[in-house]
Amino acid sequence: MLKINDYEPIVGPQVLEELRLLAGQLSKKRVLHVNSTAVGGGVAEILSRMVPLLNELGVETRWDVIKGGEDFYAVTKKIHNALHGHKQTFEAKDYDVFLEVQEKNLKEMSLDEDIVFIHDPQPVGLVKRKHSLQNKWLWRCHVDVSTPDTNVWHFLRTFVEQYDKSVFSAPIFSQVLSIPQALICPSIDPLSEKNREMPQEEIDVILARLSIPTDKPLVTQVSRFDRLKDPLGVIKAFEQAQKYVEARLLLVGGTADDDPEGAQVLAEVKEAAGKNPDIIILLLPPTSHIEINAIQRASTVILQKSLREGFGLTITEALWKGKPVIAGAVGGIPLQITHKYSGILTHSIEGTSYWLKQLLQEPAFGKKLGENGREHVRQNFLLTRHLREYLLLFLSLYHKGDVVNL
Ligand code: UDP
């Protein structure tokens, strides 16, 4: 079990001292996080590391998951896509399904912690309980809602504006709201199984176990099979680059409990990959952290050709491993990548293919991008910075009117 002191060699002693001081101010508060899946996707990834560390720091913290059936997740996936600005068709019964699940969970969940921290739209309606409990409620939006479908956003906003505060990943993601907003970027845990240092022998063993050949440079995208991650665009870009360079494309994905579209997108990806012997599609269970760590480290170039994105933790993970990343210039990706300095930003299949060819042909340039990317992550996107900002946010709930410098 990792301890907070284990982070000292990476971030230095002052950072940890400050975390202890801030947590000390919250030692009598209990915190509850609620999201919609225990495994799969970026939110679960962060909570799985954040919750034990908050407890170790003395802030009693619990994590619970809202429960819904397939019909609920079909609606929340449509809401997710609509918030990202993708046109969706909603029927009145979709909203009924959403509201019924909120009511059912309200009956079953205990939400009486001092601070209830709700993540994303799926459990947003639980805020109804605030009025009887009079505790503090935070809504954390991990989605880019800068250009949402207006009807869906209006529906959600009636819930959001009942919270004490909202949290967005970046100014560009947020919306005008009647409640205060805090801007806090996500993070990765440098010591988790997914990101810890890994000796080459261990990487080799894992790749051999997964039957991934390493005779050609590996170009990898790790993503849920989701249209907004554009796996079909990745295949097209790779096949264009393949005319000039030798490489293997690895599309690594899994499913998340709250993502019902995955199987269909996977079938489309398999069809598009056809019989190309240099494209490997690898389905991994959502707990395959060591495997993803090894795959990212074994890759020569990492792709994340998203058409829309929240923050894009897969990019943070790859940059931390010093890898050159080519990614779509959407959502939180430009916060992580400065074009041609800490990675490559692209806007099209052609652009992705061009840069893929360049990076495979110029490994020294790729290495430099990776080094700059790793340093940018060290300064900005590690879990310790995220913890500090959450602790300050919790404190700000009890200091009305004070300026809290996040
Ligand atoms: N991930 C994983 N297995 C997969 C696909 C993704 O463990 O098959 C992880 C990935 O390493 C990252 C997270 O899920 O930690 C995805 O977060 P991101 O912000 O990139 O995208 P999201 O899925 O939240 O849209």
* Per-residue pLDDT band at 362 (split at 50, 70, 90): very high
Q: How far apart are CA 45 and CA 343, in angstroms?
A: 23
**Which CATH fold would you assign to the domain 4-187+382-396?**
Rossmann fold (3.40.50)
What mean pLDDT value characterizes the chain?
Answer: 94
* Per-residue pLDDT band at 170 (split at 50, 70, 90): confident
* Per-residue pLDDT band at 256 (split at 50, 70, 90): low
Give the rounded percent of residues in the chain with a pLDDT score beyond 90: 89
Mutation test residue for ligand 1: of 196, 296, 314, 330, the one with most atoms within 8 Å of CB: 314
Give residue 128 CA to ligand 1 midpoint distance, Å: 30
Atom of ligand 1 nearest to the CA of 254: 8
Ligand 1 atom 5: residue of nearest CA: 223
293 Cβ inside 6 Å of ligand 1: no
Give per-residue pLDDT as tens, 92-150. Answer: 999 999 999 999 999 999 999 999 999 999 999 999 999 999 899 999 999 889 899 99
Burial call 263-277: b when 16+ CB within 10 Å, e when fewer? eebbeebeebbeeee
Residue-level pLDDT at 17: 97
* Per-residue pLDDT band at 341 (split at 50, 70, 90): very high
- 251 pLDDT above the threshold of 90: yes
Residue-level pLDDT at 184: 95
Phi-psi region of 400 (alpha: psi -120 to 50; beta: other; left: phi over 0): beta
Residue-level pLDDT at 310: 86
317 Cβ inside 6 Å of ligand 1: yes
- 406 pLDDT above the threshold of 80: no
Dihedrals phi, psi of 233, to nearest 5 degrees: -65, -35
Mutation test residue for ligand 1: of 194, 223, 280, 320, the one with most atoms within 8 Å of CB: 223
Give per-residue pLDDT as tens, 68-98. Answer: 999 999 999 999 999 988 889 999 999 999 9
Dihedrals phi, psi of 96, to nearest 5 degrees: -60, -45
Give residue 250 CA to ligand 1 midpoint distance, Å: 15
Ligand 1 atom 6: residue of nearest CA: 223
- 259 pLDDT above the threshold of 80: no
Token representation of residue 229: 């991650």
Give residue 42 CA to ligand 1 midpoint distance, Å: 5
Give per-residue pLDDT as tens, 47-70. Answer: 998 999 999 999 999 999 999 999
Give per-residue pLDDT as tens, 222-232. Answer: 999 999 999 99
In which element (H, E) is residue 205 found? helix 200-209
The radius of gyration computed from the CA coordinates of the chain, to the nearest angstrom, equals: 21
Give the rounded percent of residues in the chain with a pLDDT score beyond 70: 98
Atom of ligand 1 nearest to the CA of 287: 7
366 Cβ inside 6 Å of ligand 1: no
Domains 4-187+382-396 and 200-380 share a fold: yes
Give residue 199 CA to ligand 1 midpoint distance, Å: 23
Looking at domain 200-380, its CATH architecture is 3-Layer(aba) Sandwich (3.40)
Q: Collapsing DSSP states into helix, strand and coil, what is residue 278?
A: coil
DSSP conformation letters of 55-84: HHTT-EEEEEE----HHHHHHHHHHHHHHT
* Per-residue pLDDT band at 378 (split at 50, 70, 90): very high
Ligand 1 atom 14: residue of nearest CA: 41
Domain ranges across the chain:
4-187+382-396, 200-380
75 Cβ inside 6 Å of ligand 1: no
